[in-house]
Chain A
């Protein structure tokens, strides 16, 4: 798939900066979707990340770009790329 790899993202295993794993090039696009969890929690997806398949990104991962941290909420793995839904953290620590 052709995509812009015009954004460098940092991948973390937790929100803690010390958990940095590595950086990759990716394509970030605006997106709008809500995921409803039990007990009424709603998580709004505002960004969608496209990148080459990379095992460093899991549904437990966090990514950072443009000085903002995001939580990986959903991953769709295709043959040669990944489609990742991102939630912008309220706590940007």
Chain B
């Protein structure tokens, strides 16, 4: 039979009967309200427009207001659904923002389409909203149905409040919104979360290696690093810490803070809070063949003391990073501002490596600082200073 290359006419056909083939060959992986699905996705119009709406066609039943995740973007089904024998079709529009709504500390993020102008179907033109007003379209779900008039939210670091609610389109909720004022006390403007600090406490973490700034370890021996972590000044039990050595061929460290001397030399061991890597402390470890004493002092106690009241402090003495108990310290206290008299606080008792100091009763000294110093009895070049602030009683 001779080879024939025929040209035939073009005829438009329905894809409904061949949907399985089209989904296999042209389908794209998406999710619909978080459930994985394969669908046909097409541009809704030939020419590029600002919204760049798309058409979705799939075998699974879809509804107006469903959230479609496609190509790492979230879309909202904004049209009614065209149902055929085997397929469902609808128009989707890319969600422009995620808005955080805060219900008494319960924060829910909601995908939305934010517009500053609307299409007037009677005139066939776009009408711009008054400056400071926006129009927000959301999926109608149990969360968004709880959004009330005057409820506040943030879009691009600008606060808005709901001034009108339209639930006339099934599956969607539309809000008229007006610019509102920023609450610098309670709003997390940077992260676009309204009233966040009314219900949450900011966390201030600290991490300290109490072995001091330097320590020695014998070749092929082990010492343990002691980590102290606080959250808003309160000690954290069993903090999750990551240890890293700057040169693991010289000094190695495991994930419990045990340091081993591998080869003669020096390395810096850094301890970080695993989930807050900016919170860190470090210590220089030297691998040596024979020990020479290397003392460091660490002090524990409150950083504040109330006027007229007493506080106790303890000095921990470390020799090459390991705490020792056969050494002692000499305590002294002075005013941080350099004045000698009157003293803002004085030592009342001193026993072994602990001390109790009492703050002056005069309210004149509120918010001033004192410096508590612990000096190693056998070597006055080894000392630790600790700054304490005097506070009012109330």
Contacts and interface: CB of A to CB of B under 8 A. Distances in A.
A71 B22 CA distance: 10
Contacts of B12: 36-38
Contact of A31 (B4, B11, B55): B4
Contacts of A3: 1
Interface string A24-64: 00010111111111111100000010100000000110000
A50 to B, nearest CB: 7
B1 A41 contact: no
A6 to B, nearest CB: 10
Contacts of B24: 15, 91
Nearest to B22: A41
A32 B42 contact: no
Interface in B1-44: 1, 3-8, 10-15, 17-18, 20-22, 24-26, 40, 42
For chain A, the bracket of interface size reads 20 to 34
A32 B13 contact: no
Contacts of B10: 34-36
A90 B6 contact: no
Contacts of B7: 32-33
Contacts of B271: none
Contacts of A50: 1
A29 B17 CA distance: 26
A89 B25 CA distance: 7
Nearest to A32: B5
A50 B3 CA distance: 12
B3 A39 contact: no
Q: Which applies to chain B's interface (DSSP): helix, strand, loop or mixed?
A: mixed
Contacts of B5: 30-32
A90 B8 CA distance: 22
A34 B11 CA distance: 8
Contact of B4 (A29, A34, A91): A29
B127 to A, nearest CB: 31
A40 B42 contact: yes
Nearest to A2: B1
Interface string A60-86: 100000000001000000000000000
Contacts of A38: 12-15
Nearest to B26: A41
B57 interface: yes
A29 B20 CA distance: 26
Nearest to A16: B24
A29 B4 CA distance: 7
Contact of B13 (A14, A15, A36): A36
Contacts of A2: 1
Contacts of B4: 29, 31, 48
Contacts of B3: 29-30
Contacts of A41: 15, 22, 26, 40
Given A27-B1, A29-B4, A39-B42, 6 more contacts: A4-B1, A32-B5, A37-B12, A39-B55, A48-B4, A91-B24
Pairs of residues from A and B, 5 with the lowest C-beta to C-beta distance, nearest first: A33-B8, A37-B15, A37-B13, A39-B42, A36-B12
28 contacts: A4-B1, A14-B20, A15-B24, A27-B1, A29-B1, A29-B3, A31-B4, A32-B6, A33-B6, A33-B8, A34-B10, A36-B10, A37-B13, A37-B14, A37-B15, A38-B12, A38-B14, A38-B15, A39-B15, A39-B40, A40-B42, A41-B15, A41-B22, A41-B40, A48-B6, A50-B1, A60-B20, A71-B25
Interface of B: 1, 3-8, 10-15, 17-18, 20-22, 24-26, 40, 42, 55, 57
